Chain A
């Protein structure tokens, strides 16, 4: 049996894939060996198949898999994303929040009696934190009570003084020196005859000056001149 060119071409792939039975194989070979058209065709297709089989697998770019995961399941944690995330921590909002949280933790630990100079793991146990916090709270409470009590005592004393002054208004004038607008600058004596206490002091000073004048006659002239210009 001899095949035609159409038959040979239609069964060419079966021939190359080894799917022809012996009779077909023989007929195919017989035609190809005698046909000037089919012989180069078979050689060309066989060569093409060799070229197809020689094609190597192309490696996809590394970022393709990440892009696929991002497009399908969402965010993907990779090394690159980690650095992007780390760079995002430099935002002022995060820094402010981190500082606030750190300050709060430091305050809380300090309040619970944590020793920062000699930190111990035992200080972080819940029982120790509770005991220290309880002690600190009681101490602060006692200080507060004492402070309020002291304030109350001071207030009561001040109120008593005010009431006393309101009941005896003349006492304040005697005890507190009054500024006199009529007094001349540099004048030490008080010419007000209604204040006997100051008059007595002036007399006392006058007596002392007289004693000094007796002891040091040289100064007597100057002193007298100064006293009575």
Chain B
């Protein structure tokens, strides 16, 4: 229970970049898992993969539901790097926890499109195999690889725009 809670909370937090939303989404994920537990079949992959798939669906639903609220966020995308760093620094506890580079990576993650973001999170943060990501996202393996690759490149470009350059 604790292991799954931690994993799903991390997926939600990396996807939303907000602890409160991540808590609510994690709770919603477990509620949906509990209600749809009879529909779980082990042939569709392990429980973790199935729970991750439920998480992904809820995150996409949440993204679409809150799309209107992010109109102002899109304006922030065009702002200079300094502005972005300040907006990230609004949560000092998170900033102190993640460190400077981690905070910037987290900030850049939330700017990715949801399709690329979920692929990068599942591959590079949750360390899932391609076949598992394929089951979670319900897309072909080629699409998974393409999304991961494009997601990494897009993330690097966003970090470069933020002024983060490789040493």
Residues of A within 8 A of B (CB): 9-14, 16, 41, 43-49, 51-61, 64-65, 67-69, 71-73
Q: Quick one: which of A45, A59, A68, A71 has the most chain B CB within 10 A?
A: A68
Residues of B within 8 A of A (CB): 1-2, 5-6, 9-10, 13-14, 19, 22-23, 26-27, 30-31, 34, 97-99, 101-102, 104-106, 108, 120, 124-125, 145-146, 148-149, 152-153, 155-157, 159-160, 164-167
Among B27, B152, B164, B166, contact of A13 (Cβ-Cβ < 8 Å): B152
> CB-nearest residue of chain A relative to B32?
A72
Asked if A49 meets B10 with Cβ closer than 8 Å, knowing A41-B156, A68-B30, the reply is no
Among B27, B153, B155, B156, contact of A64 (Cβ-Cβ < 8 Å): B27
Among A55, A61, A65, A71, contact of B125 (Cβ-Cβ < 8 Å): A55
> CB-nearest residue of chain A relative to B30?
A68
Across-interface contacts of B164 in A (CB, < 8 A): 47, 51
Across-interface contacts of A12 in B (CB, < 8 A): 149, 152-153
Q: Are A64 and B9 in contact, with the CB atoms below 8 A?
A: yes
Q: Top 3 nearest A-B pairs by Cβ distance?
A: A47-B166, A44-B156, A13-B149
CA distance A208 to B157 in the complex (A): 144
Nearest chain A CB to B156's CB is how many angstroms away? 4
> CB-nearest residue of chain A relative to B31?
A71
Among A16, A44, A51, A59, contact of B6 (Cβ-Cβ < 8 Å): A59
Q: Are A57 and B6 in contact, with the CB atoms below 8 A?
A: yes
Across-interface contacts of A58 in B (CB, < 8 A): 9-10, 13, 19, 97
Known pairs A14-B149, A68-B26 / 13 extra A-B pairs, C-beta < 8 Å: A10-B146, A12-B152, A16-B152, A51-B159, A54-B101, A54-B102, A56-B97, A58-B97, A60-B23, A60-B26, A64-B9, A65-B5, A68-B30
